[in-house]
Amino acid sequence: MFVYGLINSAVLALMAIGFNLTFGISGVANFAYGAIYVVSGFLTWSLINKLNIPYPLSALSTIIIIGILGALIYRFIIKRIRGLVISEVIATFGISIVILEFLRYVGFIGFKYSLPMFVSGSVEILGAYVDIQRLLIIGFVILLIIALYIFTHHTKIGRAFRGIAQEEHTSLSLGINPDWIASLSMGLGSSLGAFAAIVILPLGTITVDGGYDVLINALSVCIVGGLGSTFGIIIASVIIGYAQTLTATYLAPHWTMIVSLFAILVILVFKPSGILGHQKELEERV
């Protein structure tokens, strides 16, 4: 119970990190995130099974290709409507539907679409049998968060990310080009989505509808945690993760999706900026 809840939380956090990164930096709510997640799954599958490329190599090239794809989506579509929030949402959601329904049309449906585990086998922890893959997810989340922290605090591009996230015009007057940084953030966010897909998807089969679920989960974690706050994401994914696991155990598994949506509703009623709404926190203290 404890272990499964923790793993579920880690899965949610992993799904949300990429979405959150793009939003936190460029302010673009990337609703194509779920589609990118699913495409990454199918792309890796195709590379392995159609082109016979070894698994680690396919995974790596997927992450890179999807990253470039994300940056291109920014360059050619979102750049033109940057700053118009509603248009950004409509455009990215449109992209999402196009990608997902196209995949469905082409025929990516069935149980054969699943990715291999990194390590198969399971171990017993606290009386529960757990796949090693699921434990790896927890490890990856921790590593990823540390890596992102180092990246945003100790590299030039990472610092530029933080600058753009806070004051776009000041950054611009210091020579940081917001469009360049935003396409990088979109690319990196998509890469993180691809990474999440490659780590998480081996636990089940790749389905087109999974894209919508991932989007809703990522969205609810980000809204509950406070958009743009990494620490908020961790807290929110733990809360929602355990809530989902408890619901699945004591109610029924098909109620879990409602948990995320319900969490969005509750947080919007009681604390609209999220548990750790970054900007708000400072305003309240000053």
Partner 1 sequence: MLKVENLMVFYENALAINELSIHIEEGEIVGIIGSNSAGKTTLVNTLSGLLLDTQLKEKRKGGERITIFGKITFLGKDITDLWPDERVKMGIVLSRERHPVFVESDVEENLKIAAYITTKREMKENIGFVYKVFPSLVPLRKRKAGFLSGGEQQMLAIGMSLMAKPRLLLLDEPLLGLSPSIQVKLIESIVQIRKDANVTILICEQFARPVLPIIDRGYVLENGMLTLEGTGKELYNNPEIKAAYFGV
Does 52 bind partner 1 (CB under 8 A)? Our answer is no
Question: Within 106-165, which residues bind partner 1 (CB under 8 A)?
Answer: 153, 156, 159-160, 162-163
Residue 74: which of 223, 180, 233, 205 has the closest Cα?
Answer: 180
Helix (H) or strand (E) holding 129: strand 128-131
Does 170 bind partner 1 (CB under 8 A)? Our answer is yes
Residue 221: which of 33, 19, 55 has the closest Cα?
Answer: 19
What are the phi and psi torsion angles at 233 (to 5°)?
-60, -40
Angle between helices 230-250 and 210-225 (to 10 degrees): 120
Which residues face 129 on adjacent strands? 124
Q: Which of 46, 77, 82, 213 binds partner 1 (CB under 8 A)?
A: 82
Count of residues that bind partner 1 according to CB under 8 A: 26
Q: Which residue has the tokens 């396409």?
A: 183
Token code pair at residue 78: 């979102």
In whole angstroms, give the CA distance from residue 237 to residue 242. 8
Is 125 in a helix, a strand, or coil?
strand
Stretch that binds partner 1, among 68-76, 174-182, 186-194, 251-259 (CB under 8 A): 174-182
**Integer Rg of the chain from CA:** 19
Q: Which of 1, 57, 84, 90 binds partner 1 (CB under 8 A)?
A: 84
Q: Which of 50, 52, 126, 173 binds partner 1 (CB under 8 A)?
A: 173
Least distance (Å) between residue 177 CB and partner 1? 4
Q: Which of 51, 252, 269, 282 binds partner 1 (CB under 8 A)?
A: 282
Q: Which of 44, 58, 171, 245 binds partner 1 (CB under 8 A)?
A: 171
Q: Which of 81, 97, 109, 248 binds partner 1 (CB under 8 A)?
A: 81
Residues found near partner 1 in the complex (CB under 8 A): 80-84, 153, 156, 159-160, 162-163, 166-167, 169-177, 278-279, 282, 286
